Amino acid sequence: MGLPYYWWVFRRGWALTSSFFVLALIGWVALIGNRAYLHFLANALPIWAMLFVAYAARYKIKQTYYRDVLRRAGDEHASSK
């Protein structure tokens, strides 16, 4: 059983840093209490979530594809000897 998709994204430092930055920004706006900005950020969250899932899936699919290609190449190489 492999790790969940989001793990492959969070392994990259920029994704983790930017996620913490976005959460901190939302928290800061919530503390200030400016509801207009808070609503703007809340409305944008589904877009960020979709982008995050799309990137995670793309990265995982790409990684799986190359792993399978290398495995097949290794099997063919081993069988030709």
Whether 18 is in a domain gets the answer: yes
Following DSSP, what letter does each residue of 34-74 receive, concatenated? -HHHHHHHHHHHHHHHHHHHHHHHHHHHHHHHHHHHHHHHH
Of 17, 19, 20, 42, the C-alpha closest to 30 is 42
Whether 17 is in a domain gets the answer: yes
Q: For residue range 56-79, what is the model confidence (pLDDT) as tens digits? A: 777 777 777 777 777 777 765 544
Whether 59 is in a domain gets the answer: yes
**Which parts of the chain register pLDDT below 70?**
1-17, 31, 33-35, 37-38, 41, 75-81
Angstrom CA distances, 7 to 16, 36, 47, 55, 60, stand at: 10, 33, 20, 12, 10
Whether 48 is in a domain gets the answer: yes
Whether 79 is in a domain gets the answer: no
Whether 81 is in a domain gets the answer: no
Tokens of 75: 């099997």
Whether 28 is in a domain gets the answer: yes
Domain that holds residue 19: 5-72
